[in-house]
A = this chain, B = another copy of it.
């Protein structure tokens, strides 16, 4: 719209940018409205014109960060040929870890206790991003399902096990997918998340000096357990010598 709205958008963006800067430089404690205002030459209370409360600002940050994570992960996945299922799973998993290591504060913001006394709104701070993550993993699980169903269908899952919103969305995108495959997608999520969060929170560094190798082995084991041959997990750039 007019100049007013432009200034407002610019100031909002500056607040978020400085918040992210403080977050990555000084950790979660450095994120304070007063400090942001100080750096902008504003009083701390002025920020309340742009965000209803500190938690609202944090929620917005989580949304932005979660979205950027998914952009990056989906890009990495799409750099691998669609028929190379193992390669796409590997790319997804590696992208999540690399992003988490590059943006540990962002990872904590999304998956941990974000910051002192922050309370997420009902439905989570970033429902669309979370759905995108879930859907992306489901897509991988769906592609692997023909190979994996022989070994992965031991426990019986029903659609009623999942939230209605998720179930409907998935059935819309993947009409013939059984609920067990959705469970597989969530378990894949957990499997990637486990080692990454242990590493980000420093519980792995005291035990092993090479978390990357550990994580890679875990991804390979995941691929193998899905019935996808390890030889399918080509490194990016490698020609398809053997199938």
Contact = CB atoms under 8 A, between A and B. Distances in A.
Contacts of A206: 123-124, 127, 130, 163, 166
Q: Which 5 A-B pairs have the closest CB atoms?
A: A194-B194, A116-B116, A190-B195, A190-B194, A155-B217
A202 B120 contact: yes
Contacts of A230: 154
Contacts of A14: none
Interface size range of chain A in the complex? 35 or more
7 contacts: A28-B113, A113-B201, A124-B203, A130-B203, A160-B209, A161-B210, A186-B214
A206 B204 CA distance: 28
Number of copies: 2
Interface in A100-138: 108, 111-117, 120, 123-124, 127, 130, 134
Contacts of A187: 195, 214, 217-218, 221
Given A111-B203, A116-B117, A191-B191, 18 more contacts: A28-B116, A111-B197, A111-B201, A124-B206, A130-B206, A134-B207, A151-B221, A161-B214, A162-B208, A162-B209, A163-B209, A183-B214, A186-B204, A186-B207, A186-B208, A187-B214, A187-B217, A194-B197
